[in-house]
Each structure stands twice: as structure tokens, then as C-alpha cells.
Amino acid sequence: MRNAALILGIIGGLWGMLVGFFSFGYTELHMRYAELAEFTGGVEDETIIRAASLAAPILAIAGGAMARSANVLGGVLLLISAAGMYYAFGFGVFTMFPISMCGLAGLLALIARQPDPH
């Protein structure tokens, strides 16, 4: 189960990075062109989106990397990452896979009692 948590966490973190790149760029676009915010409705809180764009994928990749050796800490980091992505980006077409992968990886890392055989 720890190996599955490792793989799911790293893949979820990489998908989260992709979502984070576009979300950060979207907030930057709204800051540079104020008239675009009037047209699209703007962004509610760009600070949270920018912070989650950076922190959530890093936590997911770090948690996935720790899932084999320090499974409890890795699982907690993965669950924090999934919660951060859900809070900042919501649950949609592009966020459902990274949130689900990180959440499942966090649960697998937490319930793994003994290391996987190599």
C-alpha cells in the first residue's frame, strides 16, 4: 500500500502542478488586465489561489516521496494537499484527478501498517 501511495501521490502532485500553473497564470492575467476581470467575473481571493498553486503540489510530491519511509507524515501531507486543492480550486473537471489521487494516496499511506515487500 505504501508503494501505491507513493505513485498516486507523485502523479497527483504533478497533475496539481499543472492545475497550479494555469491557476497562477489566470490570476496574473486578471491582475494585469482589469477589464478581463469585469468580463469573466474575476477571482474571489487570488492570494489563496496563488498560495495553493505553489504549496499543494509540493506537499503532494513530498508526501508521496515520504509514503514508504514515514507513512504517517506522508499521509498527512497528502491529505493536507488534497484539502488545499479542494479549498482553493474547487472540484471540477481538471481538479478531480489530483484531488482524488492525493486523497486516496493519503488514506493508503495512513492505513499501511508494515512496509511493502520489495
pLDDT tens digits for 3-37? Answer: 999 999 999 999 999 999 999 999 888 888 888 87
Model pLDDT for residues 45-54, shown as the tens digit of each residue: 889 999 999 9
C-beta separation of 61 from 98 below 8 A: no
Residue 65: predicted pLDDT: 95
pTM of the model: 0.89
* Pairwise CA distance, residues 33 & 93, whole Å: 26
Q: Is the model's pLDDT at 116 over the cut of 70? A: no
Residues 6+ apart with CB under 8 A from 94: 19, 22
* Pairwise CA distance, residues 63 & 57, whole Å: 10
Q: Is the model's pLDDT at 80 over the cut of 90? A: yes
